[in-house]
Structure 1
Amino acid sequence: MTPRFLMAATYASLAIATAMPAAAEGKGETVTPHSQQSIPNIPGKSLVTAVVDYAPGGASPAHTHPKSAFVFAYVLSGEIESKVNEEPTRIYHAGESWSEVPGAVHSISRNASKTKPAKLLAVFVVDTDDKQLVTPVK
């Protein structure tokens, strides 16, 4: 690895670590940045991943993502209740997934269980310059 790559990766990790938890102030939710990498054949785009852990009954506030972001969510464990845009509210189980188009409003994102934790992997394809990945809806 080159020093330039290591510096870029460190900067990106710090930016994600500071932007995501600050914007995602849900009750019973922990967002952990996982990875960030430029997409070599799509200049200006990056692939960013984060793990969202929900305590029993935990939830994220209603939110959006950058207008450039395509989001893929995969449930790692437990059950997640989700509503994106005008789609019906749905409960996703471990092994199931959904996606969010750029500009989508994610009005419901919460653990469907009051007794068991849940976890999901969020994968973003986003403009490399977009550092704040979650913006609460007011």
Structure 2
Amino acid sequence: MRTFSALALFGAALVLAAVEVSAAGAQEDETVKPVFQHAIPNIPGKNLVAVVVSYPPGGKSVPHRHAKSAFIYAYVLTGAIRSVVGNEPAKVYQAGESFHEEPGAHHRVGENASATEPATLLAVFIVDAVDEPLTIPD
């Protein structure tokens, strides 16, 4: 009976370890939180949409494009973000710096430049009201 209990306890520990590793892996991706969406009254058919993108240490986005009509202004709130848009060279943007993405641009790299500190980014979209989804992974 003692052997069975020890094996059951060992098995439970293995399951918990696997769950923790899986959860840790899931935290490597960014989280996107919508914070604002409104029609632009003097530009019929256009919306202004804002999201906060949070990256844990070492976190990254998958390569992606945005809605075809979307012009994006990105402002780094905290930490440092490494970005590659289109054929531009990689650049690291620090808190307080910004960049933009033209409609149809390919965002090849979006990631936290730090392996130890989190980073956040405010992304503001000007987009056709009917153009969804806002982000299309490769």
| TM-score in same-fold range (> 0.5) | yes
Residue 82 of structure 1 contacts residue 89 of structure 1 at CA under 8 Å; is this kept in 2? yes
CA–CA distance in 2 between the matches of 1:88 and 1:29? 22
Q: 1:48 to 1:26 in 2, by over 3 A?
A: farther
Mapping for residues 38-77 of structure 1, pairs under 5 Å: 38-77=39-78
User: Equivalent residue for 2:90?
Assistant: 89
The offset of 1:117, in angstroms, is: 0.1
Following the alignment from structure 2 to structure 1, what is the Cα–Cα distance between the partners of residues 40 and 70?
14
Moved over 3 A (4+): none
Aligned length, in residue pairs: 113
Q: How does 1:1-138 map to 2 (within 5 A)?
A: 27-137=28-138
Alpha-carbon deviations, 1:75-120, whole Å to 9, x = none?
A: 0000000000011100000000000000000000000000000000
Task: State the one-letter code of the partner of 1:35.
Answer: F
5+ residue gaps, structure 1: 1-24
Larger radius of gyration: 2
The question of whether the paired residues in 2 share the 8 Å contact of 1:28 and 1:56 is answered with: no
**Change over 3 Å in CA distance of 1:124–1:89 after alignment to 2:** same
Contact 1:45–1:128, Cα closer than 8 Å, also in 2: yes
**TM-score normalised per structure 1:** 0.79
Q: Which blocks of at least 5 consecutive residues in structure 2 are unaligned?
A: 1-25
